């Protein structure tokens, strides 16, 4: 009973209304047992609570948004990113910028996740999503300073997002999947802001052809897997030499010697032939063309020299049987996922079979889709029906590297885009641009709806949100109007990056939309306001929808955080003013 009395006297919570000094309040707020403080967190841990934590998180997210904002749009600038070992990346792609920045702050990492989600889902619009999220948080901070509770802001933002998505469905422009020219227009819009904009016509054409080739319709739905488009790149020549192959490029040279099939033994009578096969009958084998080792260690003792010869002849015949099975099936090209014995390779060479060994599993799967060949696991089970076809299989010198080109496939469901360019950094950025173009074409084929670009949909959505907010009671309408203003950050940023006056642009856009000009937007090419539908500037509806959804989710997640507890091993920076509630300390996330 005495111990209980001590505990009751020592542990109590002070009232905020008491007129005590900060130290007195601290002394009363730290639980103590018989004069000894009760330690809950590990030594060195830090904690930030309430508005301090919320404002610090918002600040970190805004910094990330401001970093990528200048790269938005056709006139956006590139970022040069140098990692810890000196490797250089030059890009305007939002996700790549954030990935290379090596961000540590947890709230800032949420913004990185926004870009990743946007890129994984639709492949484009990463910068747009991050900019909108940052602006939503900036507007929310203003409301918090006006004593609007975070849950009220969150509720208003969610109402606004639901309304926006409905409006987007209403104003979307339906298109036909067979309209190849419109798909090229969508791809050109995506490429206009990239480093490859000078060759956007070529890249747009390649992107549309590649996606249409690999698209598969099942149960009324179109399935498109971007992974079935192989992208190979090599320095040299110009960007205009980039091409689409109805087949694949394997980054390996032929294992065969290239000798002609009439050679006797190891001596070629008429000289070596080029490593090229026309009308290729292709076998894909994922087992080794070798004598398998026993599962356990074993020794063979041979005392008679004649038995030694019989043993070697047996191995010789086993390998010869494997090769004969391949030849009987009619194959003249073999891609083997594993190794090929030198003796088996010799037999294949003698019959003019083009071989490539140690293939990657993903390349084998792509070859199967491109050529129609089945991947064979047991050589003795191979049949003529298992073989695929290609017009040509040939080894070529590309720069200082030898590569195998598989071309002329019949209706391939996996194709290859071969990117050429003047330098490594240039073609890396070209690859990222092409990936975005492929994704937007895929989105159009799958959804068959687009909206005009140039900030036109965002201004229209903001206009309708303001009208909707007037009918909403309570402080939620303040959050909805703030959401509308956040959407207008996109046309404002486009104008800023193009060297236009953002205030004049947004005022003129609001006026045009109030007058019923639905697709009035910022035409970067003419530096004027134009009807973006007439200007043939389109973007997939899925990209805009996903950007708004991702940005809203990120903003509401950050706004719900009012307590940040970091372990002693945390590497997060300490902003001024952060407090753990312990005098003399100032650590923070």
Please provide residue 281's backbone torsions phi and psi, each rounded to the nearest 5 degrees.
-105, 110
126 counts as catalytic:
yes
227 counts as catalytic:
no
**Residue 20: how many other CB atoms lie within 10 Å:** 13
436 counts as catalytic:
yes
CB 100 within 8 A of CB 85: no
Could you tell me which of 255, 283, 251, 258 has the C-alpha nearest to residue 404?
Answer: 251
CB 408 within 8 A of CB 391: yes
**Which candidate in 67, 91, 96, 127 is catalytic?**
127
**Which candidate in 67, 91, 93, 128 is catalytic?**
93
**Which candidate in 363, 436, 447, 556 is catalytic?**
436
Give the pairing of strands 248-250 and 401-407: antiparallel
CB 445 within 8 A of CB 513: no
**Residue 531: how many other CB atoms lie within 10 Å:** 17
Q: Which two tokens stand for residue 60?
A: 């970190």
Give the pairing of strands 528-531 and 401-407: unpaired
Could you tell me which of 97, 251, 152 has the C-alpha nearest to residue 473?
Answer: 152
**Residue 560: how many other CB atoms lie within 10 Å:** 11
Question: What are the DSSP E strand ranges found in 428-519?
Answer: 449-452
Could you tell me which of 579, 563, 484 has the C-alpha nearest to residue 139?
Answer: 484
**Which candidate in 126, 128, 163, 580 is catalytic?**
126
Q: Residue for token digits 């006797």?
A: 264
**What one-character-per-residue DSSP string does 152-205 give?**
HHHHHHHHHHHHHHHHHHHH-EE--TT-HHHHHHHHHHHHTTSTTGGGHHHHHH
**How many helices and strands in the chain, by DSSP H and E?**
18, 23
Q: Give CA separation, 542 vs 443, 467, 535, in Å.
A: 7, 24, 21
What is the torsional sign of CA 178, 184, 189, 194?
Answer: positive
Q: Give CA separation, 561 vs 56, 63, 111, 390, 483, in Å.
A: 11, 18, 15, 58, 19
67 counts as catalytic:
no
CB 148 within 8 A of CB 82: no
**What one-character-per-residue DSSP string does 338-388 give?**
S-B-HHHHHHHHHTT-EEE-S--HHHHHHHHHHH-PPEES-GGG--GGG-E
**What one-character-per-residue DSSP string does 92-145 give?**
--HHHHHHHTT---HHHHHHHHHHHHHHHHTSS-HHHHHHHHHHHHHHHHHHHH
In which region does residue 52 sit, left (phi positive, over 0), alpha (psi from -120 to 50) or beta (all else)?
Answer: alpha
Q: Which positions are annotated as active-site residues? A: 93, 126-127, 436
């Amino acid at each position: 009973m005495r111990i209980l009395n001590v505990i009751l006297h020592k542990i109590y919570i002070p009232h905020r209304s008491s007129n005590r000094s900060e130290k007195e309040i601290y002394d009363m707020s730290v639980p103590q047992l018989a004069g000894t403080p009760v330690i809950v967190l590990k030594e060195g841990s830090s904690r930030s609570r309430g508005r301090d934590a919320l404002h610090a998180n918002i600040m970190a997210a805004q910094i990330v948004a401001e970093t990528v904002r200048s790269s938005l749009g056709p006139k956006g600038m590139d970022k040069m990113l140098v990692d810890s070992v000196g490797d250089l990346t030059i890009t305007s792609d939002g996700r790549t910028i954030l990935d290379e920045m090596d961000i540590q702050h947890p709230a800032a990492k949420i913004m990185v996740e926004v870009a990743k989600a946007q890129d994984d889902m639709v492949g484009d619009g990463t910068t747009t999503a991050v900019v909108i999220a940052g602006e939503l948080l900036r507007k929310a901070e203003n409301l918090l300073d006006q004593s609007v509770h975070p849950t009220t802001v969150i509720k208003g933002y969610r109402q606004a997002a639901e309304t926006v998505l409905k409006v987007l469905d209403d104003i979307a422009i339906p298109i036909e999947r067979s309209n190849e020219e419109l798909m090229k227009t969508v791809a050109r819009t995506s490429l206009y802001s990239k480093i490859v904009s000078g060759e956007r016509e070529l890249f747009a054409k390649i992107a549309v052809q590649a996606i249409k080739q690999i698209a598969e319709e099942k149960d009324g739905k179109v399935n498109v897997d971007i992974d079935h488009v192989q992208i190979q790149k090599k320095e040299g020549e110009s960007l205009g030499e980039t091409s689409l192959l109805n087949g694949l490029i394997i980054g390996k040279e032929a294992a065969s010697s290239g000798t002609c099939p009439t050679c006797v033994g190891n001596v070629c009578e008429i000289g070596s032939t080029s490593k090229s096969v026309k009308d290729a009958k292709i076998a894909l084998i994922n087992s080794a063309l070798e004598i398998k080792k026993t599962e356990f260690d074993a020794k063979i003792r041979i005392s008679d020299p004649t038995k030694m010869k019989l043993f070697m002849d047996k191995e010789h015949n086993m390998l010869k049987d494997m090769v004969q099975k391949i030849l009987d099936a009619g194959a003249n090209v073999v891609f083997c996922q594993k190794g090929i014995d030198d003796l088996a390779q010799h037999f294949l060479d003698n019959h003019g079979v083009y071989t490539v060994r140690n293939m990657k599993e993903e390349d084998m799967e792509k070859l199967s889709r491109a050529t129609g060949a089945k991947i064979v696991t047991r050589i003795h089970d191979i049949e003529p029906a298992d073989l695929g076809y290609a017009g040509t299989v040939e080894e070529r010198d590309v720069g200082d590297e030898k590569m195998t080109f598989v071309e002329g496939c019949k209706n391939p469901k996996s194709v290859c885009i071969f990117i050429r360019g003047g330098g490594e950094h240039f073609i890396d950025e070209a690859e990222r641009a092409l990936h975005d173009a492929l994704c937007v074409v895929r989105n159009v084929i799958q959804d068959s709806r687009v909206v005009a670009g140039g900030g036109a949909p965002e201004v229209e959505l903001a206009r309708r949100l303001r009208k909707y907010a007037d009918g909403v009671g309570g402080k939620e309408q303040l959050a909805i109007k703030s959401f509308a203003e956040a959407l207008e950050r996109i046309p404002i940023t486009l104008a800023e990056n193009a060297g236009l006056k953002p205030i004049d642009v947004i005022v003129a856009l609001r006026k045009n939309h109030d007058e019923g000009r639905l697709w009035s937007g910022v035409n970067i090419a003419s530096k004027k306001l134009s009807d973006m539908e007439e200007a043939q500037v389109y973007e997939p509806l899925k990209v805009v929808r996903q950007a708004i959804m991702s940005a809203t989710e990120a903003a509401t997640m950050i706004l719900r955080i009012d307590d940040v507890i970091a372990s002693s091993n945390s590497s997060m920076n300490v902003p001024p003013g952060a407090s753990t509630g312990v005098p003399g300390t100032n650590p923070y996330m």
